[in-house]
Amino acid sequence: MEIFAEHFQKEHLLSRVDARTKLIVVLSLLVMVLSYKGILFPLLIAAGCLLLCLKMGIPSRILFLRMAQPLFFALVILLLKFFFTGQDAMFSADLFGLHVTGHRDGLIEGLKIASRILGGVSLVTAFGFSTPFTELLSGLSWLKIPKEFIEIMMFAYRYIFVFLEDGLTIYNAQKNRLGYAGIRKGMRSFGALAGSLVIRGFDQSQKTSEAMIQRGYTGNMPLLKNRPLSPGEIAVAVVLVLFASAMWMI
């Protein structure tokens, strides 16, 4: 479970910054990254966020695990764009009986998309490592996100650890009984594991709903109450957004 951000909430500079300030800055930077027409700005944001994560004491192995899937998707998109789209051919060759052609304009387009993926995921990763989940929900409430959506996020985050532990218990039991000795057995065991977790999730949702109703839950969550932002916190957010905007326009 150490891949979750809550296991790395330590005292650092960003831990003392209000979650709403960080949320405003992250959302603004995310819009800039996704709307940027080039490659440099998203890569600078990605590099800055990764360095910030290392500065916060996040182990490099955990950081690599967080970024592995986005890196894979970025690489796949880059290769697809390079070999299958574009008009300006860089080279052409026969490989294992297949005729492949690399396109310069496809490579440039692929690099743009890949840089946006890395920049956006790095922003979200740095924000997640620096912000406890309850503070994130409080910030989303302040942004007037529907409370039904926040409620679902809260319960999902609460029980994801329970189902993760249940899944590991079932997996270890199957593994001890040679349930993964071969592809066919492995697929059958994985299907049983997935089906068991779905049924447990459905049962738990009903139990949780009944328990909350019996305790008089009306949808009013005290943790979603926010104090007013101070002028200093607003000034910090504005300065950071303006500085990033200047870089974005260069």
**How do residues 98-138 score in pLDDT, each as one tens digit?**
788 889 999 999 999 999 999 999 999 999 888 888 888 88
Show contacts of 15-19: CB within 8 Å, 24+ apart.
Answer: 15/130, 17/130, 17/233, 17/236, 18/229, 18/233, 19/131, 19/132, 19/135, 19/136, 19/138, 19/139
* Predicted confidence (pLDDT) at residue 188 exceeds the cutoff of 60: yes
The residue range of the domain holding 90 is: 1-131+242-250
The total of structural domains in the chain comes to 1
Find, among 111, 92, 114, the residue nearest to 101 by Cα: 92
Q: And the tokens for 153?
A: 């996020």
The pTM (predicted TM-score) of the whole model is 0.79
| Domain membership flag for residue 14 | yes
| Domain membership flag for residue 139 | no
**Full 3-state SS string of 112-173:** HHHHHHHHHHHHHHHHHHHCCHHHHHHHHHHCCCCHHHHHHHHHHHHHHHHHHHHHHHHHHH
* Predicted confidence (pLDDT) at residue 140 exceeds the cutoff of 90: no
| Domain membership flag for residue 59 | yes
Question: Which of the two residues, 141 and 68, has the higher pLDDT score?
Answer: 68
Phi-psi region of 100 (alpha: psi -120 to 50; beta: other; left: phi over 0): beta
Phi-psi region of 178 (alpha: psi -120 to 50; beta: other; left: phi over 0): left
pLDDT at residue number 1: 45
* Predicted confidence (pLDDT) at residue 20 exceeds the cutoff of 60: yes
| Domain membership flag for residue 151 | no
| Domain membership flag for residue 96 | yes
pLDDT at residue number 5: 52
Task: Give the span between the Cα atoms of 25 and 40, in whole angstroms.
Answer: 19
* Predicted confidence (pLDDT) at residue 96 exceeds the cutoff of 80: no
* Predicted confidence (pLDDT) at residue 42 exceeds the cutoff of 90: yes
